[in-house]
Structure 1
């Protein structure tokens, strides 16, 4: 493969900075930078940097845009969706009392628990439980890992419970959990507000419309903004969460450049031709599927996103006895390709890997097609030589291992 001319891809930034090239077919992953910003968003971000601005004034503007984007009464921007969880929980504990906000996390007071279904206590790069604990709150687990019952949630929502958290993510158990509408109904009957973690979701209006008090989104995943989190919802709870910037939120603050870029990204999202974007993603999926459909031991199937986002991925089932290597070994082999393909390998132990087209740059769909054929056919022998246990461990533990190995 001619690295410079075969595909119309601009690698100049990576090469000039000495950073490794890569093609992201894993989705909106924080470890890869979240998403790709457009020139419009990049210009808005850069334009703010050489200027002073009143942060509260910019946040007020952001609140107006968030309200239009989500249907919320108000909103603000913070460092990340994870920070948004912590601040929303803290706001439910303290209300608008600045002294109580300053007392966190050491002294949250008696009303300090957050009810969460056990199946929603996922790991998204860090534990959900830790985002709650950073506010000084205690996690009150509801049900078991595969089944939560209404009466168990009711029992958890006593006078010491400040909030209930509901997680919408492919990371969580997708069966046996209390449905969102029922979860909200039970919590509201006990006077407990519901926070929904929807960091990587397309649906920016439905969760609040269905009764959630606060919905939290990532600004740098599907929206394609700078690193940021969006906290949207009822005005009193949003104000209480924003108040936490005088306390634990200080370390989670967002700068003028990211506020400006996030505003531009949100406005762009409301003007986006979503059908055209989806059509291009579908074209890539169809091309990839056709390219590898006849390879021995390989079964590519298009599957919908498990949380209902309007997108599909290519799930590639691999029969190691026929294909010559396991899904984990092929996932590692894709990472050794030139340039590396970062695939979605979080469930390779089940015998498949996934390809997500939502973050492709110009020319990369064709590059991925050719790399798929190369690695899954001609590269099968090389993949078979990869230690299968090490490949599986890398797929499962790679995110943590990168921190253990740093600096590289």
Structure 2
């Protein structure tokens, strides 16, 4: 469904005309606002004062990792920003807006109907509510308490268990895990609200691929919901063609719409019911509000998706990676490889740069950390190799802007030629961390005394278990001098992801230090060894 091709230069050029920063001075302005407003203070800000994010102490970054939400996803297209600006200047009735946008999304995507949500996760929640309550207001106000409901379960194949399924269980549904066709058939019943599956290559290659799941589920009159958050939007939609009833997308990834928006496509009756179970209507989902601005911005992103020259974009990304590869190859011992992935999820080429860490005197992780803490701030990934002597980095061009590739190449070459100091090597252990440890963890607004570590020490190596508030998981760690580091991980195959790294100093029968909980940030902890 290709229409007029629009060059990146033309798109970027249009962005210069977008307004919306007329009175916020240095927070949003700089030279662009100075030129637009003729304001003396803004002109002064553009000549040296910190502007935008930096004005409040936040460092912008060059994103060479990809559309990660924690890195703020993607940059909105100029047409999206323009649509948001125009939408902010008038009032509308939101149900009428949802109906009009739903029809237009259906036309654009060749699906029955569409809906804008406050992110893909919200779309999954609204879709689940639609499959449970079907737009019935009497049932809607009871969610997530499903006492007395007929539909109380959501089936998820084992290959699709992930942290995002929380959006489904948030409606009160109990997750039932299946792994084979027979288990899926046996689990289906009048209590089944839906079957949820994740869009990813391992699903397509499994016994329970989307087409098979849909055939089995539809025989029991149960709808199928596909989570395609990070995927490209295919028209006609590949998931609906395979038999899915509903498919959810993130708006702030490859579509380059508002970061706070998502989209639900599929069966008109279920999508309309999903809207009933979303804001501005009350009940459990009132908090997932979509403003008129995000709604029109998301529609503009889809309008642009069917016009963008995706082949040209992909060729541009590849050319950036080739330029980086050429630049870093001047360093002796460096090898590069551009991977062209198959499939739909986050479809982008990736550059891997590898070298012998001992010969060059630097590991990939050190370069990643140095770039993250440097100026300009650059986000790339560490790369692994089957050869333990090899270390490296990887770069994803998906979210780069013109000029970013040159900056990355310059900084990587600089660090390969003049490596930063290596981390201090571990010291021989001077303490024994073996035993059972009772933990007190101080979180942002509360404490827990229910955690426990059971550790065995062999030289500098620690092994054992970490018991938390609801689950136990294996723990591993090291001892360097009197410094103790212990990590435990509870993986996504359970539908959750918990990553704890305890670091602290051992003194007698007490350890105290800091706890990193990855996406859940940090805490402090103390541990007392039990007799």
* Structure 1 segment 89-168 matched on structure 2, within 5 A: 89-107=128-146, 109-122=149-162, 127-143=163-179, 149-168=180-199
Residue 77 (structure 1) aligned to one of 116, 134, 153: 116
* Structure 1 segment 192-271 matched on structure 2, within 5 A: 192-204=222-234, 205-226=237-258, 227-245=260-278, 246=281, 247-271=283-307
Query: What runs of 5+ residues in structure 2 fail to find an aligned partner?
Result: 1-49, 427-476, 479-484, 489-498, 502-515, 524-531
User: Per-residue deviation at 1:244?
Assistant: 0.7
The answer as to whether partners of 1:299 and 1:317 remain within 8 angstroms in 2 is yes
Are 2:310 and 1:274 aligned?
yes
Question: How far apart, in 1, do the equivalents of 2:136 and 2:384 lie?
Answer: 45
User: Per-residue deviation at 1:134?
Assistant: 0.6
Other-structure match for 1:304: 340
* SS of residue matched to 2:141: helix
Q: Which has the higher strand share?
A: 2
Q: 1:49 to 1:132 in 2, by over 3 A?
A: same
Other-structure match for 1:28: 67
Residue 180 (structure 1) aligned to one of 200, 210, 230: 210
User: Per-residue deviation at 1:41?
Assistant: 1.2
* SS of residue matched to 2:287: helix
Other-structure match for 2:509: none
The answer as to whether partners of 1:65 and 1:266 remain within 8 angstroms in 2 is no
Residue 363 (structure 1) aligned to one of 403, 409, 418: 403
Other-structure match for 1:328: 365
Larger Rg: 2
User: Per-residue deviation at 1:258?
Assistant: 0.7
Question: How far apart, in 1, do the equivalents of 2:117 and 2:218 lie?
Answer: 26
Are 2:383 and 1:343 aligned?
no
Question: How far apart, in 2, do the equivalents of 1:319 and 1:331 lie?
Answer: 16
The answer to which structure, 1 or 2, has the higher relative contact order (CA under 8 A, 6+ apart) is: 1
User: Per-residue deviation at 1:132?
Assistant: 1.4
The answer as to whether partners of 1:118 and 1:141 remain within 8 angstroms in 2 is yes
User: Per-residue deviation at 1:173?
Assistant: 7.4
Question: How far apart, in 2, do the equivalents of 1:318 and 1:120 lie?
Answer: 35
Q: 1:314 to 1:176 in 2, by over 3 A?
A: same
Question: How far apart, in 1, do the equivalents of 2:343 and 2:87 lie?
Answer: 35
User: Per-residue deviation at 1:96?
Assistant: 2.7
The answer as to whether partners of 1:325 and 1:384 remain within 8 angstroms in 2 is no
User: Per-residue deviation at 1:308?
Assistant: 3.1
Question: How far apart, in 1, do the equivalents of 2:194 and 2:384 lie?
Answer: 32
Other-structure match for 1:315: 352
User: Per-residue deviation at 1:19?
Assistant: 2.3
Q: CA RMSD in A?
A: 3.0
* SS of residue matched to 1:382: coil
Are 2:62 and 1:62 aligned?
no
Query: What runs of 5+ residues in structure 1 fail to find an aligned partner?
Result: 1-10, 144-148
Return 74-83 or 199-208, whichever deviates more. Answer: 199-208
Residue 421 (structure 2) aligned to one of 361, 382, 401: 382
* Structure 1 segment 8-19 matched on structure 2, within 5 A: 13-19=52-58
The answer as to whether partners of 1:26 and 1:344 remain within 8 angstroms in 2 is yes
Question: How far apart, in 1, do the equivalents of 2:416 and 2:218 lie?
Answer: 52
The answer as to whether partners of 2:143 and 2:171 remain within 8 angstroms in 1 is yes
The answer as to whether partners of 1:333 and 1:383 remain within 8 angstroms in 2 is no
Question: How far apart, in 1, do the equivalents of 2:334 and 2:185 lie?
Answer: 47
**TM-score normalised over the length of structure 1:** 0.84
* SS of residue matched to 1:252: coil
The answer as to whether partners of 2:383 and 2:392 remain within 8 angstroms in 1 is no
Return 100-109 or 329-338, whichever deviates more. Answer: 329-338
**TM-score normalised over the length of structure 2:** 0.66
Question: How far apart, in 1, do the equivalents of 2:379 and 2:425 lie?
Answer: 17
Q: Which has the higher helix share?
A: 1
* SS of residue matched to 1:238: helix
